[in-house]
Amino acid sequence: MKHTTEEIDKVIHDALNREEAEFYDQLGEQSLLEMSLGVFQGKNKGIYILTIIVSVLLFAGFVYCAIQFFQTENTREMIIYGAIAFYCILSVTAVKLWHWMQMNTNQVLREMKRLELQISALASKK
């Protein structure tokens, strides 16, 4: 009973009526760009936009501190600029990880919707 994903999708698509099939096609696989932009939809898009702005500002702070780190002669200032640069790049990394987790959450929700559609289609056939 080996089936590829395409074969299973075709069987499901054939079992659905026209309207359900169109909806099922909309729930298909997304590219990385579509998943990235999909985070900025929904009721929390303001928070996501704010985190991107903060991430860009933190990266700018990292670049500034890195430049200052290499230009200063004072060891104390080097430690301060190095610590701030490390904090900034660590914060940018945390924001990026959070966005990747949100993309994963959206992908899981999309698959759950596909399952709900399949279950409702099977239930209506009986």
Q: What is the pLDDT along the chain (126 residues), one digit of tens a residue?
A: 456 666 666 666 666 667 666 666 666 677 767 777 777 787 888 888 999 999 999 999 999 999 999 999 999 999 999 999 999 999 999 999 998 998 888 888 888 887 887 787 777 766
Tell me how far CA of residue 34 lies from CA of 40, 66, 95, 102, 117, in angstroms.
10, 33, 19, 13, 22
pTM for this predicted structure: 0.68
* Arithmetic mean of pLDDT over the chain: 83
CA distance 10 to 14: 6
DSSP 8-class letter at 27: T
How many independent structural domains does the chain possess?
A: 1
Domain ranges, residue 109: 5-125
Closest to 102 (Cα-Cα) out of 27, 29, 51 = 51
For 92-103, what is each residue's pLDDT tens digit? 999 999 989 988
Token pair recorded at residue 81 = 């600029």
Contacts of 61 (CB under 8 A, 6+ apart): 84, 85, 88
